[in-house]
Amino acid sequence: MTTTGGRPLAGIGVVEFGVDAGIRYCGRLFSVLGATVVRVGAAGGRPSAFDLWLDEGKTFAETTDEALAALTAREVRAEVAIAGQDHLQVARADADLRALKADVLRLNLTWFGRNGPYADWRGDDAVILALTGTAHGFGPVEGPPLLAQGRAPQMLGGATLFLSGLAALWGRRTGRTHGRVDVDVLEACLCFTEHGPPAIAVSGEPSTRKGLNRYGAGYPTVAYPSSDGWIGVTAHTPAQWRSLCQLVGRPDLPDDPRFATGSDRVANAAALDLELRPIFATGATAHWLETGQRLRVPLAPVPDPDALIATDHWRERGSFSPLQGAEGVQAPGLPMRVAFDGHTQPPRSGRGPGPLSGLRVIDFSMGWAGPLATRHLADLGVDVIKIETEDHFDWARGWAPVPGSDPPAHEIASAFNLMNRNKRGIALDLATPEGCARAKALVAGADMVIENFGPGVMDKLGLSKEALRAVRPGLVFISMAAFGAAGPWRSFRAYGSTVEHASGLPFFNGEEDWPPSLQHLAYGDPVAGIYAAAMTLAALFGRESLGGADIDLSQVECLFQLGAEALIRMQAEGPRARMGSRNPDMAPRCVAPAAGDDSWVAIACPDDASWRALAHAIGRADWLSDPGLATPRGRNERAAEIETALAAWTAGRDPRAAATALQAAGACAAPVLAPHDLARDPQAKANATWGCMTRTHVGCHMMLAPPYRIDGVRPALRAPAPLLGEHTKQVLSALDIAQGAREALEA
């Protein structure tokens, strides 16, 4: 392999329009991966440290024609223009580029898209949290639901635009005529809760809030105090639960009927905490971490931000580096290490559906994060061949085979069926020489391999990246272990909750007196899936000049991207106390009760205009003449008073009607939707956000549509998730024919 690093997007010229974080983050991804990015109309004044991070590597121009001229001066062809996040900014960019006859791929990010009742609503991260069902599950049972801090929804929207934009750009380079990609932040962030509506459609049971750090799939998923900090504890499988009880010296707990299953432990979480919390308090975090991981229990330290940046594992991986222009600030870089092999290959065209047709990936991944990455690639046209074994199948199908079940239990799992559409599936026993040889032969005809086993598993199977590169020079190989494939913690087991525990985010969210707080059952999984797909495509662009790539992606480092603002501002401006839904930079920011059981309205005032609109909308124009309420700081000092007045206005109103009235007045608000509300939300209906696929054993089942439109059209839902081994004969027969032809030619 060549040295690590490289600039796989070098030679791509990008013009960026917009001031919001999501659009600038999309531009940042292009820039740090080697593209030449010129930002038009940069805001004046002294940039914050977070601004410096968002604009890393970019240059600036006053007008569009100056931006295009700047690219020409650097001998780079303008290929991409990014615009958003409001419709006016997109329209202005369109007009400028048409006037200048610039033939570029348009990448547009808006809050809610161009259609539906929310199309002209004011957007904010708080509103997206409310409308995706993410906020509904975060907080105490009695409410109110809590709004997480930061700009994660925008960042994820920007990453999704980057991913789909790279796909469309690849299509243009291989003979397609794509002109436009549209992503909206709302649909991009439904990945967090897309499991909910399909599962609810089957069970008929509405979703409920279980309480702080308690989610429906299992327990514990919680941080306990240790003698010197916090230890994040997750136990999903029966084996992990037994091992956890062995770790804490309580082998009797699995026999207690209150704690027998994951759902039992959720229902009796308070009682289980009384058993476990005092035990974990007796030992240091490092002791529990190392001992528990040896027993294959997914544990992680839960560091505060200072400790996170100082952690040896992240230091060894180079996860943080000095931010130029911000003295003393260590900022997160890309969530991966990459090295290129020098075996170059030009792009080639394909004839199938989607801009990535003609490419093939061999998919060894399981669960949520890896299969979501390959689902994105499949949706965009890649031929994805998913490899499982008959008795060690993707654990999203279930933890183990259920003999005699009818229909087969492993074929009706909603989680598997959601993540694996548009793929072909084969069954190979990789532990046998024949199975290993077949897998290598498949890789020899592929462009990419994705796996998310624990580090070392592929090596033990004889399928290390070196072995696969020997049969396929120029291969793009991505591993996506939770802590990465290198570093002291490389072998640690993890789930999405473990990833969030280790990311620093639990210390940014929640009330000041709460323990470190998870905002989601598996926050790390969908985030890592999007980044894995995006980084794989970026490396594919680099193959023409740098060769194939080994990508060591860390799922925890992916969450550093979403927490970047908090991490950077903490170092530049000092620590901030946790404030629940409130935020020191805007006020009010809260969740107010509405008419009905567990009904709420999220309200945010990201600027003075939204504050003035809110005051007028609820009949409190007197607030606007009160000098003590003229700034976010002043309003936060009187937050309880303001929130009481808001609650009095919302309490007798339907949450959707209240939010609609506030939006019509120019304020920023949304109903707080539960997962069981998502599929019937009028915005989702207007945009066909949820589709349906028919599959053997389950019939018609609900499915979230791809969150991007290329030239106004979503990628199609072409084929349901494969049955176990459904395409084995088809794929291996074609493989044998191809091998026979090669052997005859060589003879």
Distance CA 112, CA 580 (A): 26
At residue 747, the pLDDT reads 44
H or E stretch covering 61: strand 59-61
At residue 1, the pLDDT reads 42
Contact in structure between 50 and 117 (CB atoms under 8 Å)? no
| CATH number for the domain formed by residue range(s) 12-195 | 3.40.50.10540
Contact in structure between 448 and 276 (CB atoms under 8 Å)? no
At residue 737, the pLDDT reads 72
At residue 3, the pLDDT reads 41
At residue 740, the pLDDT reads 60
CA geometry: angle 282, 285, 287, nearest 5 deg: 80
Task: Tell me the C-alpha to C-alpha distance, in Å, between residue 348 and each of 171, 173, 176, 234, 446.
Answer: 10, 9, 11, 44, 13
What residues are paired with 551 via a beta bridge? Answer: 338, 478
**Cβ atoms within 10 Å of 685's Cβ, excluding its own:** 13
Which residue in the block uniquely carries the two structure tokens 């440290």? 49
At residue 351, the pLDDT reads 84
DSSP code at position 674: -
**Cβ atoms within 10 Å of 5's Cβ, excluding its own:** 12
Q: Domain locations in the chain?
A: 12-195, 221-302
For the question of whether the overall pTM of this predicted structure is more than 0.95, the answer is yes
At residue 307, the pLDDT reads 94
Task: Tell me the C-alpha to C-alpha distance, in Å, between residue 652 and each of 600, 601, 643, 657.
Answer: 11, 12, 15, 11
Greatest distance between any 2 Cα atoms in the chain: 90
Please give, one letter per residue, the 3-state secondary structure of 145-195.
CCCCCCCHHHHHHHHHHHHHHHHHHHHHHCCCCCCEEEEEHHHHHHHHCCC
Superfamily of domain 221-302: formyl-coa transferase, domain 3 (3.30.1540.10)
At residue 43, the pLDDT reads 60
Contacts of 66 (CB under 8 A, 6+ apart): 40
At residue 455, the pLDDT reads 80
- Over the chain (747 residues), what is each successive 10-residue block's mean pLDDT? 72 97 98 98 83 97 96 97 96 97 97 97 98 97 97 98 98 96 98 94 90 89 97 93 97 96 92 98 98 96 94 97 96 97 91 94 97 98 95 88 87 95 97 95 97 90 95 97 96 94 96 95 96 98 97 98 96 93 97 97 97 98 98 98 98 97 98 96 98 94 97 97 96 79 48
